Amino acid sequence: MSRYAGHVQLITTEHGGIRRGVTITAACSVSDHPPTVLACLNNTNEKNAVFFESGFFALNTLGAHHRELANGFAGFGGLSVDERFALGEWQRLVTGAPVLSDAIVSFDCRVTDTKVTATHTVLFGEVKAVHFGAKEASLIYLDRSYHTL
């Protein structure tokens, strides 16, 4: 799978005072009507349970300038949750999920379905709001390193 290029995304949520964010590449558009995206989360990390409990998430598309943020939310550097979120500026749209203010684009989503498959859960989210950032180079992950496009 290291040869499968993926756009680097940051999926975020908050529920019961617990914030969670994870760097992922397994995310994509599903439908235009209604606007729907999906994101895959690893079930082996018990901290991801907040995504399944909250009922909403934001899918934030990262740009070339977000490498430090991507690494922090991927768990590199051993940062606490507060330190990870301090790497960016955040806002709320409709659902209450943390939305990255300078993401290339952010999709604020309500979970409409989940599907457990092997080691992951696929979250399907109906897009309730969109935040557009600046048009700039995208952050891509390929061959176990970052690239820009």
pLDDT in tens, 39-62: 999 999 999 999 999 999 999 999
Q: Which residues pair with 146 in a beta bridge?
A: 141
Angle of CA points 102, 128, 11, to nearest 5°: 50
pLDDT in tens, 88-139: 999 999 999 999 999 999 999 999 999 999 999 999 999 999 999 999 999 9
For residue 60, which amino acid is it?
N
Pairwise CA distance, residues 90 & 101, whole Å: 5
Give per-residue burial for 86-115: e unless 16+ CB within 10 Å, then b.
ebbebeebebebbbbebbbebbbbbbeeee
- pTM, whole model, 2 decimals? 0.96
